[in-house]
Amino acid sequence: MKLFTSLLLIICCLGISIGQEKPWTLEACVERALEKNISIKQAELNYADTQLGKKAAIGNFLPSFNLASSHSWNIGLNQNITTGLLENLTTQFTSVGLNVGLDIYNGLQNINQLHRANLALLANEYQLSDMAEDVSLLVANSYLQVLFNRESLTSQQLQLEISIEQLSRSQELVNSGVIPAGNLYELEANLADQEQRTILAENSLRLAKISLAQLLLITDYENFEIADENYELPLSDILLQSPKDIYNKSLSLRNDIKLAETNVLIAEKDLKIAKGALQPRLSAFYGYSSRISYSDRLEGTGLYEILPTGLFVEGSLNQVLRYSEVTRVIGPAAFEDQFKDNAGQNFGVQLSIPILNGFSVRNNVARNKINVERSKYAFEQQKLDLENTINQAHNNVQSAFKAYDAAQKTLQAREKAFSYAKDRFDLGVVNSFEYSQAKQRFELAQSEVIRTKYDYIFKLKVLEFYFGIPIKID
Protein backbone atom coordinates (compact mmCIF):
# COMPACT_ATOMS: atom_id res chain seq x y z
CA MET A 1 0.00 0.00 0.00
CA LYS A 2 2.90 2.36 0.81
CA LEU A 3 4.57 1.51 -2.50
CA PHE A 4 1.36 2.22 -4.41
CA THR A 5 0.95 5.57 -2.61
CA SER A 6 4.56 6.55 -3.40
CA LEU A 7 4.17 5.70 -7.09
CA LEU A 8 0.93 7.66 -7.29
CA LEU A 9 2.61 10.67 -5.67
CA ILE A 10 5.53 10.49 -8.10
CA ILE A 11 3.17 10.30 -11.08
CA CYS A 12 1.21 13.31 -9.86
CA CYS A 13 4.40 15.33 -9.37
CA LEU A 14 5.58 14.41 -12.86
CA GLY A 15 2.24 15.45 -14.33
CA ILE A 16 2.43 18.81 -12.59
CA SER A 17 6.02 19.42 -13.74
CA ILE A 18 5.16 18.51 -17.33
CA GLY A 19 2.01 20.64 -17.42
CA GLN A 20 3.76 23.71 -16.00
CA GLU A 21 6.39 25.37 -18.13
CA LYS A 22 9.06 27.51 -16.52
CA PRO A 23 8.26 31.24 -16.88
CA TRP A 24 10.28 33.01 -19.55
CA THR A 25 12.66 35.81 -18.64
CA LEU A 26 13.61 38.52 -21.14
CA GLU A 27 17.07 36.98 -21.60
CA ALA A 28 15.54 33.57 -22.30
CA CYS A 29 13.10 35.10 -24.80
CA VAL A 30 15.93 36.86 -26.65
CA GLU A 31 18.00 33.66 -26.77
CA ARG A 32 15.03 31.71 -28.08
CA ALA A 33 14.29 34.31 -30.76
CA LEU A 34 17.90 34.39 -31.92
CA GLU A 35 17.90 30.59 -32.11
CA LYS A 36 14.58 30.12 -33.91
CA ASN A 37 14.05 33.28 -35.95
CA ILE A 38 13.60 32.40 -39.63
CA SER A 39 15.17 35.61 -40.93
CA ILE A 40 18.29 34.95 -38.87
CA LYS A 41 18.46 31.38 -40.17
CA GLN A 42 18.26 32.71 -43.73
CA ALA A 43 21.06 35.17 -42.95
CA GLU A 44 23.13 32.28 -41.59
CA LEU A 45 22.62 30.45 -44.90
CA ASN A 46 23.80 33.56 -46.75
CA TYR A 47 26.90 33.57 -44.55
CA ALA A 48 27.56 29.90 -45.36
CA ASP A 49 27.18 30.70 -49.06
CA THR A 50 29.70 33.53 -48.72
CA GLN A 51 32.16 31.10 -47.13
CA LEU A 52 31.90 28.99 -50.27
CA GLY A 53 32.65 32.12 -52.29
CA LYS A 54 35.88 32.54 -50.33
CA LYS A 55 36.85 28.94 -51.08
CA ALA A 56 36.27 29.63 -54.77
CA ALA A 57 38.49 32.74 -54.56
CA ILE A 58 41.26 30.66 -52.98
CA GLY A 59 40.81 28.04 -55.69
CA ASN A 60 41.63 30.63 -58.36
CA PHE A 61 45.27 30.53 -57.20
CA LEU A 62 45.54 26.78 -57.79
CA PRO A 63 46.36 25.18 -61.16
CA SER A 64 43.53 23.57 -63.08
CA PHE A 65 43.82 19.81 -63.62
CA ASN A 66 41.57 18.05 -66.12
CA LEU A 67 41.76 14.36 -66.92
CA ALA A 68 40.03 13.11 -70.09
CA SER A 69 39.52 9.60 -71.39
CA SER A 70 37.61 8.02 -74.29
CA HIS A 71 37.00 4.60 -75.78
CA SER A 72 35.81 4.22 -79.40
CA TRP A 73 34.85 1.53 -81.88
CA ASN A 74 35.64 1.89 -85.61
CA ILE A 75 33.71 -0.40 -87.99
CA GLY A 76 34.53 -0.72 -91.72
CA LEU A 77 37.33 0.89 -93.67
CA ASN A 78 39.29 3.07 -91.27
CA GLN A 79 42.86 4.08 -90.81
CA ASN A 80 44.64 2.36 -88.03
CA ILE A 81 46.22 5.31 -86.21
CA THR A 82 48.87 2.98 -84.83
CA THR A 83 50.02 1.36 -88.11
CA GLY A 84 48.84 4.05 -90.54
CA LEU A 85 47.16 1.41 -92.80
CA LEU A 86 43.59 1.38 -94.13
CA GLU A 87 41.84 -1.71 -92.87
CA ASN A 88 38.30 -2.99 -93.36
CA LEU A 89 37.64 -4.34 -89.88
CA THR A 90 36.34 -3.43 -86.46
CA THR A 91 38.86 -1.84 -84.15
CA GLN A 92 38.82 -0.34 -80.66
CA PHE A 93 40.89 2.52 -79.35
CA THR A 94 41.36 4.03 -75.89
CA SER A 95 42.83 7.48 -75.40
CA VAL A 96 43.72 9.32 -72.22
CA GLY A 97 44.86 12.87 -71.65
CA LEU A 98 45.82 15.24 -68.83
CA ASN A 99 45.69 19.03 -69.16
CA VAL A 100 47.11 21.49 -66.65
CA GLY A 101 46.56 25.27 -66.72
CA LEU A 102 47.94 28.01 -64.48
CA ASP A 103 47.34 31.76 -64.47
CA ILE A 104 50.65 33.58 -64.13
CA TYR A 105 49.26 37.10 -64.31
CA ASN A 106 45.70 38.30 -64.87
CA GLY A 107 45.70 41.90 -63.68
CA LEU A 108 45.78 40.91 -59.98
CA GLN A 109 42.16 39.78 -60.29
CA ASN A 110 42.71 36.66 -58.19
CA ILE A 111 44.20 38.66 -55.32
CA ASN A 112 41.43 41.25 -55.46
CA GLN A 113 38.75 38.56 -55.62
CA LEU A 114 40.17 36.96 -52.47
CA HIS A 115 40.16 40.33 -50.71
CA ARG A 116 36.59 40.88 -51.85
CA ALA A 117 35.55 37.45 -50.55
CA ASN A 118 36.99 38.30 -47.12
CA LEU A 119 35.12 41.62 -47.13
CA ALA A 120 31.90 39.84 -48.16
CA LEU A 121 32.30 37.48 -45.19
CA LEU A 122 32.78 40.46 -42.90
CA ALA A 123 29.72 42.19 -44.37
CA ASN A 124 27.60 39.09 -43.79
CA GLU A 125 28.79 38.93 -40.19
CA TYR A 126 27.76 42.55 -39.66
CA GLN A 127 24.42 41.91 -41.36
CA LEU A 128 23.77 38.86 -39.18
CA SER A 129 24.68 40.76 -36.01
CA ASP A 130 22.54 43.73 -37.04
CA MET A 131 19.58 41.44 -37.66
CA ALA A 132 20.10 39.82 -34.26
CA GLU A 133 20.08 43.27 -32.62
CA ASP A 134 16.84 44.20 -34.39
CA VAL A 135 15.23 40.94 -33.28
CA SER A 136 16.40 41.57 -29.70
CA LEU A 137 14.78 45.02 -29.72
CA LEU A 138 11.58 43.59 -31.14
CA VAL A 139 11.48 40.90 -28.45
CA ALA A 140 12.16 43.47 -25.72
CA ASN A 141 9.30 45.65 -26.98
CA SER A 142 6.90 42.67 -27.08
CA TYR A 143 8.08 41.55 -23.64
CA LEU A 144 7.49 44.99 -22.17
CA GLN A 145 4.06 45.06 -23.81
CA VAL A 146 3.17 41.88 -21.90
CA LEU A 147 4.45 43.44 -18.67
CA PHE A 148 2.41 46.56 -19.33
CA ASN A 149 -0.79 44.61 -19.98
CA ARG A 150 -0.20 42.38 -16.96
CA GLU A 151 0.28 45.35 -14.66
CA SER A 152 -2.76 47.04 -16.21
CA LEU A 153 -4.81 43.91 -15.52
CA THR A 154 -3.63 43.88 -11.90
CA SER A 155 -4.68 47.52 -11.56
CA GLN A 156 -8.10 46.81 -13.08
CA GLN A 157 -8.61 43.82 -10.80
CA LEU A 158 -7.80 45.94 -7.76
CA GLN A 159 -10.25 48.59 -8.93
CA LEU A 160 -12.86 45.88 -9.42
CA GLU A 161 -12.37 44.73 -5.85
CA ILE A 162 -12.73 48.33 -4.68
CA SER A 163 -15.95 48.72 -6.69
CA ILE A 164 -17.40 45.51 -5.24
CA GLU A 165 -16.40 46.52 -1.74
CA GLN A 166 -17.82 50.03 -2.17
CA LEU A 167 -21.11 48.69 -3.52
CA SER A 168 -21.42 46.39 -0.53
CA ARG A 169 -20.56 49.26 1.83
CA SER A 170 -23.08 51.55 0.11
CA GLN A 171 -25.77 48.89 0.47
CA GLU A 172 -25.18 48.93 4.21
CA LEU A 173 -25.39 52.74 4.22
CA VAL A 174 -28.68 52.62 2.31
CA ASN A 175 -30.05 50.04 4.71
CA SER A 176 -29.08 52.27 7.61
CA GLY A 177 -30.63 55.34 5.93
CA VAL A 178 -27.38 57.30 5.63
CA ILE A 179 -27.58 57.67 1.82
CA PRO A 180 -30.55 57.38 -0.53
CA ALA A 181 -31.13 54.15 -2.44
CA GLY A 182 -30.72 55.98 -5.75
CA ASN A 183 -26.96 56.19 -5.19
CA LEU A 184 -26.69 52.41 -5.72
CA TYR A 185 -27.70 52.69 -9.38
CA GLU A 186 -24.61 54.69 -10.30
CA LEU A 187 -22.39 52.34 -8.29
CA GLU A 188 -23.88 49.28 -9.98
CA ALA A 189 -23.29 50.84 -13.40
CA ASN A 190 -19.73 51.68 -12.37
CA LEU A 191 -19.20 48.07 -11.25
CA ALA A 192 -20.45 46.74 -14.58
CA ASP A 193 -18.16 49.14 -16.42
CA GLN A 194 -15.24 48.06 -14.24
CA GLU A 195 -15.96 44.39 -14.98
CA GLN A 196 -15.92 45.19 -18.70
CA ARG A 197 -12.57 47.00 -18.41
CA THR A 198 -11.14 44.04 -16.49
CA ILE A 199 -12.23 41.65 -19.25
CA LEU A 200 -10.68 43.92 -21.87
CA ALA A 201 -7.45 43.98 -19.86
CA GLU A 202 -7.46 40.18 -19.70
CA ASN A 203 -7.92 39.98 -23.48
CA SER A 204 -5.16 42.52 -24.08
CA LEU A 205 -2.79 40.51 -21.89
CA ARG A 206 -3.70 37.28 -23.68
CA LEU A 207 -3.13 38.85 -27.11
CA ALA A 208 0.20 40.34 -26.00
CA LYS A 209 1.38 36.93 -24.75
CA ILE A 210 0.28 35.27 -27.98
CA SER A 211 2.13 37.91 -30.00
CA LEU A 212 5.33 37.32 -28.01
CA ALA A 213 4.93 33.53 -28.23
CA GLN A 214 4.50 33.74 -32.01
CA LEU A 215 7.64 35.85 -32.21
CA LEU A 216 9.46 33.07 -30.36
CA LEU A 217 7.81 30.37 -32.52
CA ILE A 218 6.07 28.86 -29.48
CA THR A 219 2.71 27.26 -30.28
CA ASP A 220 1.64 26.33 -26.74
CA TYR A 221 0.06 29.69 -25.95
CA GLU A 222 -1.90 28.45 -22.94
CA ASN A 223 1.18 27.40 -20.96
CA PHE A 224 3.34 30.32 -22.10
CA GLU A 225 4.04 32.75 -19.28
CA ILE A 226 6.74 35.32 -18.63
CA ALA A 227 8.57 35.60 -15.33
CA ASP A 228 6.49 37.02 -12.49
CA GLU A 229 8.79 39.84 -11.42
CA ASN A 230 8.16 43.40 -10.41
CA TYR A 231 10.18 45.64 -12.69
CA GLU A 232 10.80 48.99 -11.13
CA LEU A 233 11.83 52.10 -12.99
CA PRO A 234 15.49 51.51 -13.98
CA LEU A 235 18.22 53.91 -12.99
CA SER A 236 20.55 54.88 -15.83
CA ASP A 237 23.29 57.43 -16.39
CA ILE A 238 22.68 57.44 -20.14
CA LEU A 239 20.97 60.83 -19.97
CA LEU A 240 24.20 62.29 -18.61
CA GLN A 241 25.68 61.61 -22.04
CA SER A 242 25.09 64.13 -24.80
CA PRO A 243 23.57 62.95 -28.10
CA LYS A 244 26.90 63.75 -29.79
CA ASP A 245 28.83 61.50 -27.40
CA ILE A 246 26.32 58.69 -27.88
CA TYR A 247 26.56 59.12 -31.64
CA ASN A 248 30.37 59.04 -31.68
CA LYS A 249 30.43 55.84 -29.64
CA SER A 250 27.65 54.32 -31.67
CA LEU A 251 29.64 54.83 -34.88
CA SER A 252 32.20 52.31 -33.64
CA LEU A 253 29.58 49.86 -32.34
CA ARG A 254 26.64 49.80 -34.73
CA ASN A 255 26.76 46.88 -37.14
CA ASP A 256 24.66 48.68 -39.76
CA ILE A 257 27.32 51.41 -39.91
CA LYS A 258 30.07 48.81 -40.20
CA LEU A 259 28.07 47.07 -42.90
CA ALA A 260 27.68 50.27 -44.94
CA GLU A 261 31.41 51.01 -44.59
CA THR A 262 32.30 47.47 -45.65
CA ASN A 263 30.03 47.79 -48.69
CA VAL A 264 32.15 50.77 -49.79
CA LEU A 265 35.28 48.63 -49.55
CA ILE A 266 33.58 45.84 -51.50
CA ALA A 267 32.59 48.29 -54.25
CA GLU A 268 36.19 49.52 -54.46
CA LYS A 269 37.44 45.93 -54.80
CA ASP A 270 34.89 45.31 -57.56
CA LEU A 271 36.32 48.33 -59.36
CA LYS A 272 39.86 46.94 -59.09
CA ILE A 273 38.68 43.57 -60.39
CA ALA A 274 36.99 45.26 -63.34
CA LYS A 275 40.14 47.27 -64.12
CA GLY A 276 42.19 44.06 -64.00
CA ALA A 277 40.30 42.83 -67.06
CA LEU A 278 41.92 45.67 -69.05
CA GLN A 279 45.41 44.30 -68.44
CA PRO A 280 47.18 41.50 -70.36
CA ARG A 281 46.75 37.93 -69.18
CA LEU A 282 49.61 35.45 -69.14
CA SER A 283 48.94 31.76 -68.53
CA ALA A 284 50.90 28.51 -68.78
CA PHE A 285 49.62 25.16 -69.98
CA TYR A 286 50.80 21.56 -70.09
CA GLY A 287 49.22 18.55 -71.75
CA TYR A 288 49.94 14.81 -71.73
CA SER A 289 48.18 12.22 -73.92
CA SER A 290 48.50 8.59 -74.97
CA ARG A 291 46.44 5.99 -76.85
CA ILE A 292 45.96 2.23 -76.93
CA SER A 293 44.76 0.11 -79.89
CA TYR A 294 43.07 -3.28 -79.45
CA SER A 295 43.35 -4.41 -83.14
CA ASP A 296 45.70 -7.06 -84.53
CA ARG A 297 49.01 -5.94 -86.05
CA LEU A 298 51.60 -7.19 -88.58
CA GLU A 299 54.96 -8.50 -87.43
CA GLY A 300 58.04 -9.39 -89.53
CA THR A 301 59.12 -13.07 -89.58
CA GLY A 302 62.75 -12.45 -90.57
CA LEU A 303 62.23 -14.18 -93.94
CA TYR A 304 62.34 -12.23 -97.20
CA GLU A 305 60.93 -12.89 -100.63
CA ILE A 306 61.67 -11.31 -104.04
CA LEU A 307 58.77 -9.44 -105.52
CA PRO A 308 58.50 -7.47 -108.80
CA THR A 309 57.96 -3.76 -108.42
CA GLY A 310 56.27 -3.30 -111.85
CA LEU A 311 59.18 -1.13 -113.01
CA PHE A 312 61.71 -1.88 -115.79
CA VAL A 313 65.37 -1.07 -116.25
CA GLU A 314 65.72 1.76 -118.73
CA GLY A 315 66.64 0.50 -122.23
CA SER A 316 65.80 -3.12 -121.47
CA LEU A 317 62.95 -5.45 -120.64
CA ASN A 318 64.43 -6.46 -117.30
CA GLN A 319 62.08 -5.89 -114.33
CA VAL A 320 63.13 -4.13 -111.14
CA LEU A 321 62.80 -6.51 -108.19
CA ARG A 322 62.73 -5.81 -104.44
CA TYR A 323 63.14 -7.78 -101.28
CA SER A 324 60.09 -7.79 -98.98
CA GLU A 325 59.96 -9.24 -95.47
CA VAL A 326 57.32 -11.82 -94.91
CA THR A 327 54.89 -10.68 -92.15
CA ARG A 328 52.37 -12.43 -89.98
CA VAL A 329 49.32 -11.25 -88.03
CA ILE A 330 49.68 -11.08 -84.22
CA GLY A 331 47.63 -9.64 -81.38
CA PRO A 332 47.87 -6.08 -80.06
CA ALA A 333 50.87 -4.93 -78.04
CA ALA A 334 50.76 -4.94 -74.25
CA PHE A 335 48.73 -2.14 -72.65
CA GLU A 336 51.65 -0.65 -70.72
CA ASP A 337 53.92 -0.77 -73.78
CA GLN A 338 51.40 1.07 -75.95
CA PHE A 339 50.71 3.60 -73.17
CA LYS A 340 54.44 4.38 -73.00
CA ASP A 341 55.25 4.24 -76.72
CA ASN A 342 52.25 6.35 -77.85
CA ALA A 343 52.65 9.04 -75.18
CA GLY A 344 52.97 12.69 -76.15
CA GLN A 345 53.33 16.01 -74.32
CA ASN A 346 52.73 19.64 -75.10
CA PHE A 347 53.41 22.74 -73.00
CA GLY A 348 53.87 26.44 -73.35
CA VAL A 349 52.66 29.90 -72.33
CA GLN A 350 49.83 32.01 -73.71
CA LEU A 351 49.54 35.79 -73.70
CA SER A 352 46.17 37.49 -74.20
CA ILE A 353 45.95 41.27 -74.62
CA PRO A 354 42.46 42.84 -74.62
CA ILE A 355 42.03 45.38 -77.40
CA LEU A 356 38.35 45.70 -78.28
CA ASN A 357 35.48 43.71 -76.80
CA GLY A 358 32.47 45.78 -77.72
CA PHE A 359 33.27 48.25 -74.88
CA SER A 360 32.02 45.62 -72.41
CA VAL A 361 35.11 45.75 -70.19
CA ARG A 362 35.31 49.55 -70.13
CA ASN A 363 31.58 49.81 -69.51
CA ASN A 364 31.97 47.42 -66.60
CA VAL A 365 34.72 49.62 -65.16
CA ALA A 366 32.53 52.74 -65.51
CA ARG A 367 29.60 50.92 -63.94
CA ASN A 368 31.70 49.92 -60.92
CA LYS A 369 32.92 53.50 -60.52
CA ILE A 370 29.30 54.59 -60.25
CA ASN A 371 28.65 51.82 -57.73
CA VAL A 372 31.56 53.04 -55.58
CA GLU A 373 30.05 56.53 -55.43
CA ARG A 374 26.64 55.08 -54.71
CA SER A 375 28.05 53.05 -51.80
CA LYS A 376 29.80 56.11 -50.38
CA TYR A 377 26.58 58.13 -50.47
CA ALA A 378 24.72 55.24 -48.81
CA PHE A 379 27.38 55.16 -46.07
CA GLU A 380 27.06 58.89 -45.43
CA GLN A 381 23.27 58.64 -45.41
CA GLN A 382 23.47 55.77 -42.91
CA LYS A 383 25.52 57.95 -40.56
CA LEU A 384 23.09 60.85 -40.94
CA ASP A 385 20.15 58.54 -40.21
CA LEU A 386 21.93 57.20 -37.13
CA GLU A 387 22.61 60.71 -35.83
CA ASN A 388 18.97 61.73 -36.36
CA THR A 389 17.75 58.52 -34.71
CA ILE A 390 19.95 59.06 -31.65
CA ASN A 391 18.86 62.69 -31.31
CA GLN A 392 15.24 61.60 -31.55
CA ALA A 393 15.80 58.73 -29.09
CA HIS A 394 17.49 61.08 -26.61
CA ASN A 395 14.59 63.53 -26.81
CA ASN A 396 12.09 60.67 -26.53
CA VAL A 397 13.68 59.42 -23.31
CA GLN A 398 13.64 62.90 -21.77
CA SER A 399 10.02 63.43 -22.80
CA ALA A 400 9.01 59.97 -21.57
CA PHE A 401 10.63 60.56 -18.19
CA LYS A 402 8.90 63.94 -17.83
CA ALA A 403 5.58 62.31 -18.79
CA TYR A 404 6.12 59.57 -16.20
CA ASP A 405 7.03 62.13 -13.52
CA ALA A 406 3.93 64.17 -14.35
CA ALA A 407 1.76 61.04 -14.32
CA GLN A 408 3.03 60.16 -10.85
CA LYS A 409 2.19 63.62 -9.54
CA THR A 410 -1.24 63.38 -11.13
CA LEU A 411 -1.78 59.97 -9.56
CA GLN A 412 -0.90 61.28 -6.11
CA ALA A 413 -3.37 64.13 -6.49
CA ARG A 414 -6.10 61.87 -7.93
CA GLU A 415 -5.58 59.37 -5.10
CA LYS A 416 -6.07 62.07 -2.48
CA ALA A 417 -9.13 63.38 -4.34
CA PHE A 418 -10.61 59.90 -4.55
CA SER A 419 -9.96 59.21 -0.87
CA TYR A 420 -11.58 62.52 0.02
CA ALA A 421 -14.59 61.79 -2.23
CA LYS A 422 -14.93 58.30 -0.76
CA ASP A 423 -15.03 59.64 2.78
CA ARG A 424 -17.61 62.30 1.82
CA PHE A 425 -19.67 59.66 -0.02
CA ASP A 426 -19.67 57.41 3.02
CA LEU A 427 -20.97 60.35 5.02
CA GLY A 428 -23.66 61.05 2.41
CA VAL A 429 -22.26 64.49 1.53
CA VAL A 430 -21.67 63.70 -2.17
CA ASN A 431 -23.76 61.53 -4.44
CA SER A 432 -22.69 58.39 -6.27
CA PHE A 433 -22.09 60.22 -9.57
CA GLU A 434 -19.51 62.55 -8.04
CA TYR A 435 -17.90 59.57 -6.32
CA SER A 436 -17.76 57.60 -9.58
CA GLN A 437 -16.19 60.54 -11.39
CA ALA A 438 -13.43 60.78 -8.78
CA LYS A 439 -12.87 57.03 -8.97
CA GLN A 440 -12.64 57.01 -12.77
CA ARG A 441 -10.14 59.87 -12.74
CA PHE A 442 -8.09 57.93 -10.20
CA GLU A 443 -8.19 54.80 -12.39
CA LEU A 444 -7.15 56.78 -15.46
CA ALA A 445 -4.24 58.24 -13.48
CA GLN A 446 -3.15 54.73 -12.48
CA SER A 447 -3.30 53.53 -16.09
CA GLU A 448 -1.33 56.55 -17.26
CA VAL A 449 1.43 55.86 -14.73
CA ILE A 450 1.71 52.28 -15.96
CA ARG A 451 1.71 53.35 -19.61
CA THR A 452 4.33 56.08 -19.17
CA LYS A 453 6.44 53.78 -17.03
CA TYR A 454 6.87 51.12 -19.70
CA ASP A 455 7.07 53.69 -22.46
CA TYR A 456 10.01 55.25 -20.62
CA ILE A 457 11.65 51.85 -19.98
CA PHE A 458 11.56 50.86 -23.65
CA LYS A 459 12.79 54.22 -24.93
CA LEU A 460 15.54 54.17 -22.33
CA LYS A 461 16.62 50.69 -23.45
CA VAL A 462 16.69 51.84 -27.06
CA LEU A 463 18.99 54.74 -26.18
CA GLU A 464 21.21 52.45 -24.10
CA PHE A 465 21.27 50.02 -27.01
CA TYR A 466 22.78 52.70 -29.27
CA PHE A 467 25.38 53.38 -26.57
CA GLY A 468 26.41 49.72 -26.55
CA ILE A 469 24.64 48.64 -23.34
CA PRO A 470 23.09 45.15 -23.71
CA ILE A 471 19.30 44.92 -23.56
CA LYS A 472 18.38 43.88 -20.05
CA ILE A 473 15.50 44.68 -17.69
CA ASP A 474 16.40 44.71 -14.01
pTM (global) more than 0.85: no
- Between 331 and 161, name the one with better pLDDT: 161
Same fold, 26-62+106-279+362-474 and 67-104+280-294+339-353: no
pLDDT, one tens digit per residue, over 138-157 is: 998 999 899 889 888 988 89
- In this prediction, residues 412-422 reach a mean pLDDT of 90
Mean pLDDT of 345-368: 90
Query: What span, in angstroms and rounded, lies between the C-alpha atoms of 18 and 22?
Result: 10
pLDDT score of 19: 44
pLDDT, tens only, 235-260: 778 888 899 999 999 998 999 999 99
Q: What is the 3-state secondary structure (H, E, C) of the chain?
A: CHHHHHHHHHHHHHHHHHHCCCCECHHHHHHHHHHHCHHHHHHHHHHHHHHHHHHHHHHCCCCEEEEEEEEEEECCEEECCCCCCEEECCEEEEEEEEEEEEEEECCCHHHHHHHHHHHHHHHHHHHHHHHHHHHHHHHHHHHHHHHHHHHHHHHHHHHHHHHHHHHHHHHHHHHCCCCCCCHHHHHHHHHHHHHHHHHHHHHHHHHHHHHHHHHCCCCCCCCCCECCCCCCCCCCCHHHCCHHHHHHHHHCCCHHHHHHHHHHHHHHHHHHHHHHCCCCEEEEEEEEEEEEECCCEEEEEEEEEEEEEEEECCCCCCEEEEEEEEEEEECCCCHHHHHHHCCEEEEEEEEECCCCCCCHHHHHHHHHHHHHHHHHHHHHHHHHHHHHHHHHHHHHHHHHHHHHHHHHHHHHHHHHHHHHHHHHHHCCCCCHHHHHHHHHHHHHHHHHHHHHHHHHHHHHHHHHHHCCCCCCCC
pLDDT tens per residue across span 35-90: 998 989 999 999 999 999 999 999 999 999 999 999 888 777 776 655 566 767 67
* pLDDT of 290 higher than 80: yes
Q: What is the pLDDT of residue 286?
A: 94
pLDDT in tens, 106-138: 889 999 999 999 999 999 999 999 999 899 989
What CATH class is the domain 67-104+280-294+339-353?
Answer: mainly beta
Give the span between the Cα atoms of 362 and 371, in whole angstroms. 14
Taking only the tens place, the pLDDT of each residue in 260-286 is 999 999 999 999 999 999 999 999 999
What pLDDT does 3 receive? 44
pLDDT reported for residue 178: 66
What are the residue boundaries of the structural domains of the chain, listed by start?
Answer: 26-62+106-279+362-474, 67-104+280-294+339-353, 297-330
What whole-number distance in Å separates Cα of residue 332 and Cα of residue 300? Answer: 14
Residue-level pLDDT at 229: 66
pLDDT(440) > 80: yes
Q: State the Cα–Cα distance between residues 332 and 298, nearest whole angstrom.
A: 9
Q: Domain 26-62+106-279+362-474's class?
A: mainly alpha
